[in-house]
Amino acid sequence: MALSSLVVEFGNSTRQIYAFASLHPYITAPLLVILTCLLNRVYSELQYARIQARDNPKEPATLPYWIPFLGHVISYISNNGKLTGQARDHCRDSIYTIRLLHRQHYMITTPSIVQQIFKQRATTLSNKPLIHRIARNGFRDEGTTAEQPDLNAKITDNLHILMTESAILDASDRTAKAVGKSISLLTSFSSIRAKQTAWERGANPQVTNNGKTIEADMFHLVTRWAYTCSTPAMFGQSFLKRFPDVMDDLFVFDGQFPFLLAGVPAITGKIVKAKAARDRCLDAMKEWFEALTAVEDGGKPRFGWGDMGDVSELMRIQHRTWRSGGPQAEKAAISSLLSSLWGLHANSNIIAFWTMLHIYENPTLLASIRAEVSPYITRLPSREYTFDHSSLSRKCPILKSTWYETMRWDLFGAEQKYILRDFCVTESAEDATMLRGPSALPRSYTLKAGNVVCIHNGATQKDPKLWENPEEFNPRRFIVQDSRDKTTEKAEMFRHLYSFGGGYSMCKGRLFAEREVLTFVAAVVSLWDMEFLGDKGQDGRWVVQREMDAGAPHPDGEVRVRRQKQPPLTLSPPTAITTNFFTTHPIQPPPQPPQRESTMPLL
Ligand code: HEM
C-alpha cells in the first residue's frame, strides 16, 4: 500500500516537473545544464580521489571538471598557468590528466618521469601532429608539409648540422662580429628618420634635451637589433637588405602566435595584423628561395641579391632538399624556411631582452656582470668591439646563470607529444617521497595511445618542490662549484629546467643560442646605461606586464627607457667582481619536500 502510494506520488511529481518544464523552457534548460555540470563535477571529483589513492599501475587520474565533453578547455584557455599551478600543488601523483575535448592530456610533474618521456622514440611519442599544425596554422602551408613525409624526414635530419662545431663557430663568429660593429650605434640620437638605425625606427624614439637624451621602447630596440646581428649568419646579408620590414613583421606575428596556432580566426585587430605580417614574411621568403635557386643553377644573380655566397651551409642544404621535391613541395618549403627564421629569433632575442631587463633592474648584479665580462670584450681603434663569445659562455658564470634564471622565470613553453602506442613509466623512489612522504612506494602509470603527453614549463619552473623560493629571481641559482677546481664556480643548467625541450627533438640551435644570447646581453649591459621610465616596485624591480604567459612572452605595451648621449661606457676593471652580491645570494641547499594538502581546489 505504502509502495503504491509512493509510486503514485512519484508519478504526480514527474508530471508536475514535466508540466513546469513545458511551460517554462527558458528556466528549465539552464537548470538542467547546471544540474548536469554539478553531477559531472561530483562524479569526476570522486573518480579523481579514487584513482589518486591507488598505488598499483594506473592511467593517471583526471582532474575534476564541470562541463561534460569540453572538459578543462575553458580554464586551460583562460589561464593555463593557474590551472597547471594549482593541479601541480595538490596532485600526489607524478602525472595527472586534463581533458581537452575528446583528448586526454597527461601532464608530467616530476623529473624522473620527464627523463623517461625524453627517452621515448619517435615511434612511441611523435611531434609530427604538432609540427603539421604549426606549419598549417602558424606558417600557412595549406597542409602540404604533412603530404611530404619523406622530404620532411630529410629536413629534420639536416638540422643536426646546427650542432656541429663548425656551424656553431661560424654562426657565433659572424653574429659576434655584427654585434661588435653595431653596438656603439644602438641609438642615433637623431630625430631625423633617415639618420636613425633600422632597429631604432620602430622603437618610437623621442629625442629630448637638445639631442642629449633619447627615450625609446627597449623591447623593440634590442629585439630588432639582435635580429639584424644574427639573420645574416643564416640567411645572408642580402635578405636583410632586400626585406628590412620582415624584422618587424616577424615579431608582430610572433606576438599572436599562440592564437594562430590554435586556429583562432581573425577576430581581433592584433590577429588580423599578425596574419598580414606573416603573409608578407612568406612573400619575402619566397623571393629568397627563388634568388638562391637562380645562383645555385649557375644563372645570373637576381637584382639586389648578389651571389648569396654568405648563406649558411644549413640553409643551402635545406634549400636543395626542398627543391628535390619539385614544384609541389614549394609551399611546404617556403613555410618551413620561414619557420626556421622565426625559430632563430622568437626565443633568443626575446629572452635576451628579459635577461637585460633583469640585469638593469638590479644595480649590484649589473656591476658584477660588467666586471665579469669585461676581459672578453675589446675596443678596437675603429671604435668597434670584439666579443670573445666562447669565453663569455665558459668563463662568466654570473652572466650565464642569470640567463638560465631568466629562462626559468620568463619562458612558458609547453612540450607536447602524441602517443602512438601505449607505454608505461615509473616514478623514482625520490620523487615518490617528494610527493607522498617517506614511506611512499614508487607508482607506475600507463599512458594510452591517441592521447597527448605534456610538460608544462610554466608549472614545473615554479614548482616549490623542485626549486628553493621559486618566486624569487635569484641570478646565482644555477651556479655550482666546479668539481675539478673547488675554488672556481660555473653555471650549470639543472636537469629540471626544460627550456630547450628534450629527447630526439631537443632544440638543435641551443649551443649557438647560448653564444649569441650571452654576446647580445654582455654587449648591451656593458656599454650602455638604461634608465627605466615606467613604475618600479618597492625592491626597485621594473614593473613590466607580459602580454600573455605563453612561449617567450612579449611585454604588454612599450618598455620606455632613457639613454644619455655619451660615448659607450668604459669597460669595468675585472677586479670589481667581488661585490656583496655574492654574500647576499649564497648557494642554496636542495629544497625539502613541503607538507602537502590532500584535497583538490576548484579549477
Ligand atoms: C634561448 C633560445 C632558444 C630556446 C629557449 C629554444 C627552445 C626550443 C624548444 C623548446 C624546441 C622544441 C624542443 C622539443 O620539441 O623537444 C626547439 C626546437 C628547435 N630549435 Fe630552438 N630554441 C632557442 C633558440 C634556437 C635557435 C637560435 C635556433 C637556430 C639557430 C633554434 C633551432 C631549433 C630547431 C631547428 C629546433 C627543432 C629541432 C628538431 O625538431 O629536431 N633554436 N627550440
Q: What's the grid cell of residue 190? A: 637623431
Closest C-alpha residue for ligand 1 atom 40: 505
Q: Is residue 594 part of a domain?
A: no
Q: 396 and 422 in one domain?
A: no
Give the distance (Å) from ligand 1 centre to CA of residue 510: 6
Kindly give the number of the ligand 1 atom that is closest to the alpha carbon of 513.
27
156 CB within 6 A, ligand 1: yes
Average pLDDT of the chain? 91
Given a cut of 80, whether residue 218 has pLDDT beyond it is yes
pLDDT at 158: 97
Kindly give the number of the ligand 1 atom that is closest to the alpha carbon of 498.
10
Q: 218 and 321 in one domain?
A: yes
Mean pLDDT to the nearest integer, 58-68 = 94
Q: Is residue 600 part of a domain?
A: no
pLDDT at 194: 92
512 CB within 6 A, ligand 1: yes
Is 507 flagged in the annotation as binding?
Answer: yes
Give φ, ψ of 591 to 5 degrees.
-70, 150
Final residue of a structural domain among 428, 445, 460: 460
Given a cut of 60, whether residue 590 has pLDDT beyond it is no
Residues near 517 by beta carbon (within 8 Å), at least 6 away in sequence: 348, 351, 352, 355, 403
Mean pLDDT to the nearest integer, 505-521 = 97
To which residue does cell 639613454 refer?
563
Q: Which DSSP helix (H) or strand (E) runs through 482?
A: strand 479-482
Q: 571 and 512 in one domain?
A: yes
DSSP bridge partners of 452: 105, 418
198 CB within 6 A, ligand 1: no
Number of domains observed in the structure of the chain: 2
Q: 433 and 307 in one domain?
A: no
Instruction: Give helix then strand counts, H and E, for the chain.
Output: 23, 15
Q: 549 and 407 in one domain?
A: yes
Q: 501 and 444 in one domain?
A: no
pLDDT at 48: 93
Question: Quick check: helix, strand or coil at residue 204?
Answer: coil
Ligand 1 pocket test, candidate residues 158, 507, 520, most atoms within 8 A of CB: 507
- Which range, of 38-47, 136-145, 555-564, 590-599, averages the lowest pLDDT? 590-599
Give the distance (Å) from ligand 1 centre to CA of residue 113: 22
Domain that holds residue 44: 2-135+416-460
Q: How confident is the model at residue 2 (pLDDT cuts 50, 70, 90)?
A: low
Q: Is residue 494 part of a domain?
A: yes
Q: What's the grid cell of residue 450? A: 591517441
Please, what's the b/e burial string for 178-191 (b: 16 or more CB within 10 A of its CB; e: otherwise)? bbbebbbebbbbee
Given a cut of 50, whether residue 97 has pLDDT beyond it is yes
| DSSP, res 506 | S
Q: How confident is the model at residue 575 (pLDDT cuts 50, 70, 90)?
A: low
More confident residue, 390 or 6: 390
DSSP bridge partners of 562: 215, 531
Q: 348 and 383 in one domain?
A: yes
Q: Is residue 45 part of a domain?
A: yes
CA-closest candidate to residue 218, choices 475, 7, 532, 486: 532
More confident residue, 371 or 25: 371
Q: 175 and 81 in one domain?
A: no
Contact criterion met (CB below 8 Å) for 477 and 408: yes
Q: Is residue 602 part of a domain?
A: no
pLDDT in tens, 292-309: 999 999 988 999 999 999
Q: What's the grid cell of residue 7? A: 509510486
pLDDT in tens, 124-163: 999 999 999 999 999 999 999 999 999 999 999 999 999 9
pLDDT at 451: 96
502 CB within 6 A, ligand 1: yes
Q: 57 and 7 in one domain?
A: yes
CATH of the domain at 185: 1.10.630.10
Final residue of a structural domain among 432, 460, 488: 460
Q: Is residue 213 part of a domain?
A: yes
Helix spans in 24-127 (H): 25-52, 73-90, 111-119
Final residue of a structural domain among 460, 490, 523: 460
pLDDT at 206: 94
Please, what's the b/e burial string for 441-471 (b: 16 or more CB within 10 A of its CB; e: otherwise)? ebbebebeeebbbbbbbbbbbbbebbbeebe
Residues near 487 by beta carbon (within 8 Å), at least 6 away in sequence: none
Q: 47 and 19 in one domain?
A: yes
Q: 167 and 77 in one domain?
A: no
Q: 293 and 233 in one domain?
A: yes
pLDDT at 589: 38
Q: Is residue 200 part of a domain?
A: yes
Rounded distance, CA 408 to CA 370, Å?
22
Mean pLDDT to the nearest integer, 202-227 = 94
Give the distance (Å) from ligand 1 centre to CA of residue 508: 6
Q: Is residue 159 part of a domain?
A: yes
pLDDT in tens, 414-442: 999 999 999 999 999 999 999 999 999 99
pLDDT at 578: 41
202 CB within 6 A, ligand 1: no
551 CB within 6 A, ligand 1: no
